[in-house]
Amino acid sequence: MTHIHGNEVELSRTVFYAESGGQESDTGTIGGVPVINARKSGHGIIYTLESAPGFAVGDEVVCKIDWPRRYALMKLHFAAEVVLELFTQRFDGIVKIGAHISEDKSRVDFEWPENITPLLAQMESKAQALLDADSPIESAFSDEALGRRYWQVDGFAKVPCGGTHLKRTAEVGNIKLKRKNIGRGKERVEILLDS
């Protein structure tokens, strides 16, 4: 433990993923105290705990993440990345303007002048075929000193991304795509796991 201020703490090492790039943070416990949120602060991570901890700076603590939540976030993160990559590879001029990944669904928001619904069945089919191929997902540093990472699926894409990643595409399972209207010239594609 390196810092404690009320119910906010910092650690020297961690297994928690902090909220970043639209992906919600991990939850779990630090020293038995529930973690509400983990957010980046410079090169460190600030953890907001449910209550002030009983441990002190310098103490060793056990960190436990909520694995079912983390795994759902990993699946929906990768599914969103695949959908985004398919749209940008296929449609010149389409622009991503937002994204969010929760444990229930993910979404990608696009700047696009028309209703995206007619494209969804084909894009869902292409995404599902890629996932079903059970290809390995390589995740590594492109620049370790600067902390820059990427994921890659051979024959599909190499994408800069520092998020959490699966080992194989088929881990995602079956997905469903839905369109949501978020305003003129903006289209939202929601990605859900179809179990």
- Residue 5 and residue 170: Cα distance in Å, rounded? 42
pLDDT band for position 2 (cuts 50, 70, 90): confident
- The owner of tokens 């209207």 is 181
The model's pLDDT over 76-126, given as tens digits with 9 standing for 90+, comes to 999 999 999 999 999 999 999 999 999 999 999 999 999 999 999 999 999
Listed in sequence order, the residues at least 6 apart from 129 whose beta carbon sits closer than 8 Å to its beta carbon are: none
Share of the chain above pLDDT 70, in %: 99
149's enclosing H/E stretch is strand 148-153
- What percent of the chain is modeled with pLDDT above 90? 71
- Would you say 23 and 77 are in contact if contact means Cβ atoms under 8 Å apart? yes
Q: Could you tell me which of 41, 45, 37 has the C-alpha nearest to residue 10?
A: 45
Q: How many CA atoms lie within 13 A of 125 on its CB side?
A: 5
pLDDT at 177: 98
Q: What's residue 20's pLDDT?
A: 85
Type of residue found at 36: I
pTM higher than the cut 0.85:
yes
pLDDT band at 44 (very low <50, low <70, confident <90, very high): confident
What are all long-range contacts of 90-99, with beta carbons under 8 Å and residues at least 24 apart?
90/123, 97/186, 98/22, 99/21, 99/22
pLDDT 10s digits, 142-184: 888 777 889 999 999 999 988 889 999 999 999 999 999 898 9
Domains for the chain: give ranges and CATH numbers: 3-65 (2.40.30.130), 69-193 (3.30.980.10)
Neighbours of 164 (CB within 10 A): 19
